[in-house]
Homo-oligomer: A and B are copies of this chain.
Amino acid sequence: MKTVTVYDIAKEANVSVATVSRVLNNTAPVKKETRDRITELINKYQFQPNALARSLSKKETGMIGIILPDITNPFFPEVLSGFDREARDNGYTYFLCDTVSANGDMADQYGRESQYLSALSEKQVDGIVMLGGRVDLAKPREELTSEVLEIGKRVPVLLINGDLPGTSLHRVCIDERLGAELATRHLIELGHRDIAIVGGYPHMRNTIQRTAGAVKTMQQYGLKVRKEWVLGDGFSVESGVGFIRQLLEQRERPTAVFCMNDLVAIGVMKGAYKAGLSVPGDLSIVGYDDIPFASASTPELTTVSLKANELGRTAAQILHQLISKEKVRKTSILQPELVVRETTAPR
């Protein structure tokens, strides 16, 4: 079953391939009569132009690459979904490049990012968006940065909620500090003075910023930030369970805990239950991200919405503008929002 090409259509229609191409792309007027003849043949043979050939000559593919760490982390599908919608509407189709997921082997995460980066570049994608992974690092190694910078010269690169110091790549972010402030202030206004801050990784920008926001707010209100109530290393449910256990082992206990993300918050909640505490009766908990589970748990989780969907949507818009060579400002910052639900209560 030979695949039919513009030549086949052209021949049978007694025109040149140029004309076929013209009706295909509506790129120049064609006499209605010939146009109809061609259209008919196209339908007859179910002709589908080869996108590879087209892209090769047009030097644009309508393909985008999106590199992220783990689609299994519910935060990412949310931004992806916003991104998808917008990108789709603009006629793009995208490669999903997951650098960790499944094998859970973080070890070579950055190596995999590099592989994808060059694979995408070879595939001539029109644009690349990165989130998580190296762009989350507070101090990425030099090569990690320069590599992206190099790619960025050939194709638009957009960072979501990340940065690569010194590159001035385009990025769309959430105001992380503000999010943390919102959460902390909420707790304080409920009368809490003994607040723990748990989760995250000290080498990640988001953790640093969120922690800074929380600490600053507590200090503004004259609250003391206790070292032993600031626990790190983990973004998972399990780590959350561990954090609350550590907290409960101490002589003095906090009455509220601000978690670096919702997964940790869920873990903390689980751990609290197992320890016989009631939430929010004995312990108020606020998360961060507002993943779907946040509203599915019982009690429903009070959290900070990162506007994941909007983040993705905005990213797609900006990337599109970048690809269209429109002027775009380097950094777009979205405002997070506190979502008060059921895990927080007056002290």
- What residues of chain A have their CB less than 8 Å away from a CB belonging to chain B? 1, 3, 46, 48-53, 55-56, 61, 63, 70-72, 74, 76-78, 80-82, 84-85, 88, 93-98, 101-103, 116, 118-124, 150, 153-154, 237, 263, 266-267, 269-270, 273, 292-293, 295-298, 309, 313
Contact = CB atoms under 8 A, between A and B. Distances in A.
Contacts of A71: 71, 77, 80-81, 84
Contact of A52 (B61, B74, B76, B78): B61
Contacts of A3: 154
Contacts of A82: 102
Given A1-B153, A296-B293, A93 B122 contact: no
The oligomer's copy count stands at: 2
Contact of A56 (B53, B77, B154): B53
Interface of chain A: mostly helix, strand, loop or mixed: helix
A312 to B, nearest CB: 8
A28 B103 CA distance: 35
Contacts of A101: 77, 80-81, 84-85
Given A53-B56, A124-B51, A119 B95 contact: no
Given A52-B55, A93-B123, 15 more contacts: A46-B150, A50-B122, A51-B124, A52-B56, A71-B81, A72-B77, A74-B77, A74-B292, A80-B96, A81-B102, A84-B101, A93-B120, A94-B95, A95-B95, A237-B295
B97 A93 contact: yes
B102 A84 contact: yes
B96 A119 contact: no
Contact of A81 (B1, B85, B98): B98
Contacts of A72: 77-78, 81, 292
Given A81-B98, A95-B93, A101-B84, A122 B48 contact: yes
A74 B76 CA distance: 11
Nearest to A66: B96
Contacts of A313: 102
B52 A124 contact: yes
Contacts of A150: 46
B50 A56 contact: yes
Given A153-B1, A237-B296, A51 B122 contact: yes
26 contacts: A48-B118, A50-B122, A51-B123, A52-B56, A52-B123, A56-B56, A63-B95, A63-B123, A71-B77, A71-B81, A72-B78, A74-B74, A76-B77, A77-B101, A80-B96, A80-B101, A85-B103, A93-B95, A93-B97, A93-B116, A93-B120, A95-B95, A96-B96, A102-B309, A266-B296, A269-B298
